[in-house]
Chain A
């Protein structure tokens, strides 16, 4: 049953990009995207693809979920109870086993190559859905991915430590008359400089300063202020960076930010995998489940696409230090939100969790699917500064049909 949709997936050979390239984004798509990024690469076997009782299974047990037939790691009980709202992909496969290159791939949908810097999903989402004074994309507790050839204006606003107040968002002592004179003077200086040094870097730098100034004036910056939430709520999410980041993501989405990425770090468990993964799962389970509940309560769930992913999976083999090493050949991704048909599993790995055994998903396919869910035009053609044509999503990507609601 778990792989029942695989046949559907592989039979879909139509190029989505080509079909949607000319059309307007379809209605009924998500207006926001939250990526929960597992920095360092989460062990798929110890999270969403358990292999209990096999040599690669490790010490964790698997537990049943809200959906009969789907089992996940025992340390994600709250997510298990909400499995009906999530779609689980167990057959993502890639070739990048180096953190930097894998992050580039997972954030942009493209393999890193010379000559072109691809924009991240957040840049595309922000570009298509951004409006209002708040940043178009926010990266919390991690670096996120830049705007690539779209320029620095599409870079994420980064909040490295959400547990600490975000500084310099405004100045209470600023005098309006002098602020506007400073802004006018700056605009003149920037205009001169851009005339002498035209280029995407300079335009980007100007846009960034303008965004900062607009933000300084905006009432919506209170989205960053978690002290506005009750102690009870903060506790419900968990009081470390990831929990605080998920809470901030909810506040940002509520105020119109299209894209938020929240990173959970330290998944690079080359040693002491099990104790560390148990701890990380605890943080993840608490924050993610609170986020799901709140997005449902405030009505944002139906217009938000939530993605759980990371650098890569980890080796079925447990090394001499009780760790697992990098393993891009097979990993898991979880999708949620109103546009996702929850309660299903896509694809499967073999008995060891080593190789994809059914319905393989390339990162480009994942990106075609995310683009479809967000109403991005996957096949839209862009010209890089070096004059190279690049599509929003790799043309090889095929939408995983049936993962999204029709």
Chain B
């Protein structure tokens, strides 16, 4: 139960961040050294670096210089834990004399609960469909993902569990994936989602006609949809006395007692597999009103082994799906995109042409290789993410030629770091860390922040997220986001000096140099350069007392609005 409580992620995360409890860190231990569990055996893919280097040489691209320690830690912390590092973490990392410290820190960060929490949040965002389900149910799904990742369950196992799930969603939250695509939209949309998410094939293009660019046909689409013809979402009737602990827990976590009671009466959603039911289409495509026929389930032409399975077509599909050659490649492509802003096959969810094109495009060797290694490592997401983050490609900086075409070619080959936008949740957490609002002690302010926390969090998710799930690489901030940072209360009030606040802490340092270091370290996770020091000194010339306080507030404010703060780079 205590473990369960620790894992109430999305709600608890912000609540704890905002509840400002020093030391009770919701997103994991504050430093990898502290309490990190035994790192799983995560030796890197042995040849990955050599293969990157070979690919760069072959493509003839300019290779970016390696990044320094502080830059590496900020980048890795955002990608592994979903937040910027705190000053003490930067300090400890930079001072760590171990020549292998990057490998070691990444290993520990990947093994930490904070990794599972962040990647569960990331996956939940990508997996949950548009059909509305109660927030507590969706939250339970994220918690389920988090446990799966932290327990080291393979992506194949998680995928099978999600696709084949049956039962009440609060008890079997893995069913949320199917239910959130199926509830109002029927098997067609679900088929498209499953194919895209798990196999990287946008088969829905073949829903109304044979695929325009590859040899997938309308019949392929229908045969895949036939696996989902028996899935059904309904509202279950719940007896409050037999509710499982998990359900009570998840419900009361997300709502007040009154609301929880009301919800209990209404009942949970249930994902259910009907004993029969077929996907039916007109026998004659030219006579849509005529006789209908049932379509037999096939995955890209391959029949399922239905005898050996206990009835469920979805389970049969799941078994076939994880054995398909595209399954691992799609998973690797997704992770790759999260870490580099793009994948070897772009976009990661359009792999169809690599296999089904009339003239197949070969899969890039790097993707093939890492997919095979991913399978060899039992589809362990921690291994996959850890391997890429420890690779030579992940350590590349952004420097080099100013020629846009040379730069673009290098980025496309992962030889140079791309500037990547952050997700809403990341920016929100970073603001809480940078402004020290997570630690601030002023009681009135704390109460006010807590009262507004849901509103503030919602506003960020609303303004920063796109309901259409736009691809990450096509997204890079927009005016409403910039307005939220420039005019919103969190940044405006976050920079104001009050006991324990960012500027208050900066002013604790005895001299200008120390103050500037403190500000840069907290907001940018690095120390200022010589040029930045002299320029900043000019801003502060003659500023004393209240004037100096205001200048620090203004500089902190400008930094929070800068591209360096709002991107991963």
Residue among B421, B470, B550 making CB contact with A178, cutoff 8 Å:
B550
Given contacts A181-B554, A329-B208, A98 and B202 within 8 Å (CB-CB): yes
Taking a contact as CB atoms under 8 Å apart, the answer to whether B398 and A196 are in contact is yes
Complex: A38 Cα to B558 Cα, angstroms: 40
Q: Mark A149-170, 1 if CB is under 8 A from B, else 0.
A: 0001001111110000001111
* B185 surroundings in chain A (CB, below 8 A): 268, 270
Given A182-B557, A189-B562, verify A205-B476 contact (CB < 8 Å): yes
Per the bound structure, the CA–CA distance linking A331 and B192 in Å amounts to 22
Q: Is A114 an interface residue (CB 8 A)?
A: yes
Interface assignment of A58: CB less than 8 Å from any CB of chain B: no
Q: Does any Cβ of B come within 8 Å of A328's Cβ?
A: yes
Residues of B near A67 (CB, < 8 A) are: none
Q: When the two chains form their complex, are residues A169 and B483 in contact, meaning their CB atoms are under 8 A apart?
A: yes
CA distance A329 to B209 in the complex (A): 9
Indicate if A200 sits at the interface (CB-CB under 8 A): yes
Q: State whether A101 touches B202 (Cβ < 8 A).
A: yes
The 8 A CB mask of A76-95 against B (1 = contact, 0 = none) is: 00000000000000000001
Q: Is the CB of A213 within 8 A of B405?
A: no
Question: Are B555 and A143 in contact, CB atoms less than 8 angstroms apart?
Answer: no
Cα(A155)–Cα(B412), bound, Å: 23
Asked whether, in the complex, the Cβ of A186 is within 8 Å of the Cβ of B562, the reply is yes
Measured CA separation A386–B61 after assembly (Å)? 13
A198 is an interface residue with CB less than 8 A from chain B: yes
Q: What residues of A have a CB within 8 angstroms of the CB of B402 in the complex?
A: 198
A143 adjacent to B466 (CB under 8 Å): yes
Q: Which of A15-23, A314-322, A339-347 contacts B (4 or more CB under 8 A)?
A: A314-322
- With an 8 A cutoff between CB atoms, is B186 at the interface? yes
Q: Is B375 positioned at the interface, with any CB of A under 8 Å from its CB? A: no
Would you call B480 and A201 a contact (CB within 8 A)? no
B residues 255-288 near A (Cβ < 8 Å) are 280, 282, 288
Which of B404, B466, B483, B531: most chain A CB closer than 10 A? B483
Q: Are A386 and B350 in contact (CB under 8 A)?
A: no
Task: Specify the chain B residue showing the minimal Cβ separation from A268.
Answer: B185
B557: chain A residues at CB < 8 Å are 182
Q: Which residues from chain A contact B289 at a C-beta distance below 8 Å?
A: 55, 317
Pairwise interchain contact B474-A146, C-beta atoms closer than 8 A: yes
Given A205-B476, A215-B479, A327-B208, A193:B563 Cβ within 8 A: yes
Q: Which of A148, A182, A192 contacts B554 (CB 8 A)?
A: A182
Contact of B462 among A160, A199, A316 (CB under 8 A): A160
Q: Does B38 contact A (CB under 8 A)?
A: no
Min C-beta distance of A357 to chain B, whole Å: 15
Provide the B316-343 mask, 1 if CB < 8 A to any CB of A, else 0.
Answer: 0000000000000000000000000000
CB-CB contacts below 8 Å: A241-267 with B: none
A328 to B211, CA, bound (A): 13
A143 to B346, CA, bound (A): 22
Whether A211 sits at the interface, judged by CB under 8 Å, is: yes
Q: Does B459 contact A (CB under 8 A)?
A: yes
- Size of the B side of the interface (Cβ < 8 Å), in residues, is 71
Instruction: Give how many A-B residue pairs fall within 8 Å (CB-CB).
Output: 183
Given contacts A98-B207, A160-B462, A167-B459, contact A204 B476 (CB under 8 A): yes
A156: which B residues are within 8 A, CB to CB? Answer: 478
Distance between Cα atoms of A220 and B550 in the complex (Å)? 30
Q: Is B419 an interface residue (CB 8 A)?
A: yes
A112→B475 CA distance, assembly (Å):
16
Beta-carbon contacts of B138-155 to A below 8 Å, as 1s and 0s?
000000000000000000
Interface check B75, CB cutoff 8 A: no
- Report chain B residues within 8 Å CB of A167: 459, 483-484, 488
- Name A100's contact: one of B467, B468, B484, B550 (CB within 8 Å): B468
Contact B487–A185 (Cβ < 8 Å): no
- Which of B350, B459, B479, B550 has the largest count of A CB atoms less than 10 A from its CB? B479
Asked if B412 and A386 sit within 8 Å, CB to CB, the answer is yes
Interface string of B245-256 (1 = CB under 8 A from A): 000000000000
Q: List 21 A-B contacts (CB under 8 A).
A: A97-B205, A98-B205, A101-B202, A152-B477, A155-B478, A169-B483, A185-B558, A189-B562, A189-B564, A192-B531, A196-B398, A199-B398, A201-B418, A201-B567, A204-B477, A212-B482, A213-B482, A216-B483, A315-B208, A316-B288, A387-B408
B residues bordering A, Cβ < 8 Å?
Answer: 184-186, 188-189, 192, 202, 204-205, 207-209, 212, 280, 282, 288-289, 346-347, 350, 398-399, 402, 404-405, 407-409, 412, 418-419, 421, 459, 462, 466-468, 470, 474-484, 486-488, 492, 531-532, 535, 539, 550-551, 554-555, 557-559, 561-564, 566-567, 569
Known: A181-B554, A199-B398. 10 other contacts (CB 8 A): A114-B346, A143-B470, A152-B476, A157-B478, A171-B492, A186-B558, A189-B562, A202-B419, A216-B486, A320-B280
Please give me the 9 A-B residue pairs with the lowest Cβ-Cβ distance, nearest first.
Answer: A212-B482, A97-B208, A185-B558, A317-B288, A168-B487, A186-B558, A168-B483, A152-B476, A197-B398
